[in-house]
Amino acid sequence: MIRRGSDGQWDVFFDDAALPSMRTYLGVIKEGITPALSIGLTGDSQDEAFHQGLAAMVLRGFFNVPVLHDKWSDFQFSTMPLPRDPGQNVYYMDTVGQGYSVPVTSKHPAEAAEFVFWLQTATPQAMRASTLFLGPVNPAAWDDPLLMDNPDWATYRSLSSISKLVPVENNDNEDEFITTVFNPAVLSVASGDKTLDAAIAEIKASSKTMLNK
């Protein structure tokens, strides 16, 4: 939703095709699918409410399957819907992730760089993935027994085999904008304190200024 417009300026775009999905996503609390206590919860707190039966649905990525199984080995869940446009084979898009870097203040940059490149080889990637439940950046890691012999990774492996990565331009001001403007506005919609149209107007009032500063 955040991208450069035809004028070359960054902005957040609420395309007509996306609005019905946004209304549904932000309206699940009113429909009784998930409790009001879940507003703003992430990570372990969200999983705990799901596990205790306080919520019927948890909005997380497919990586949450091994996370749930690791915490509660006997936990059984029903379905995991995967969004997909009609006629497309791409089930998800990797728009976020983690990376490795060596800061300029490093006292041993050469050794640090050697470690970073070693960490991206197959075996260390398999160890990192199995510990943190994050997909490996090296495809060869999928053949390591740590991931190969673990059935919790079957879904992740299947989706990764058909995934399509799309490079996008990065905006350095995006995180601040999302944290201070976008998230508070849409959370007020989810809690029933504001209409989506009012939230969009509030977001658009400062989006261009903040994203292009």
Distance of CA 46 to the CA centre of its chain: 14
Give the helix ranges, DSSP H, for 56-108. Answer: 64-71
Average pLDDT of 97-119?
88
pLDDT computed for residue 95 by the predictor: 45
Average pLDDT of 162-175?
83
pLDDT computed for residue 126 by the predictor: 93
Average pLDDT of 164-192?
88
β-strand partners of 3: 11
Structure confidence at residue 8 as a pLDDT band (50, 70, 90): very high
The upper half-sphere exposure of residue 64, i.e. CA atoms within 13 Å in the direction of its Cβ, equals 21
pLDDT computed for residue 81 by the predictor: 66
Average pLDDT of 140-155?
88
Q: Is the pLDDT of residue 174 over 90?
A: yes
Task: Look at 22 and 9; give whichever has higher pLDDT.
Answer: 9
Distance from C-alpha of 25 to C-alpha of 40, rounded to nearest angstrom: 14
Q: Quick check: pTM over 0.85?
A: no
Structure confidence at residue 101 as a pLDDT band (50, 70, 90): confident
- Could you tell me which residues come within 8 angstroms of residue 183 by beta carbon, excluding any fewer than 6 positions away? none
- Could you tell me which residues come within 8 angstroms of residue 46 by beta carbon, excluding any fewer than 6 positions away? 38, 55, 58, 60
Q: What is the DSSP letter of 180?
A: I
Q: What is the DSSP letter of 105?
A: T
Q: Is the pLDDT of residue 132 over 90?
A: no
Average pLDDT of 38-58?
77
Query: Mean of the per-residue pLDDT values for the chain?
Result: 83
Give the helix ranges, DSSP H, for the chain. Answer: 19-26, 43-51, 64-71, 109-119, 122-132, 145-148, 154-161, 174-177, 183-190, 196-211
pLDDT computed for residue 202 by the predictor: 96
Helix (H, G, I), strand (E, B) or coil at 127: helix
Q: Is the pLDDT of residue 104 over 80?
A: yes
Least confident interval from 25-34, 78-87, 191-200: 78-87
- Could you tell me which residues come within 8 angstroms of residue 153 by beta carbon, excluding any fewer than 6 positions away? 66, 129, 147
Average pLDDT of 149-178?
84
Helix (H, G, I), strand (E, B) or coil at 10: strand
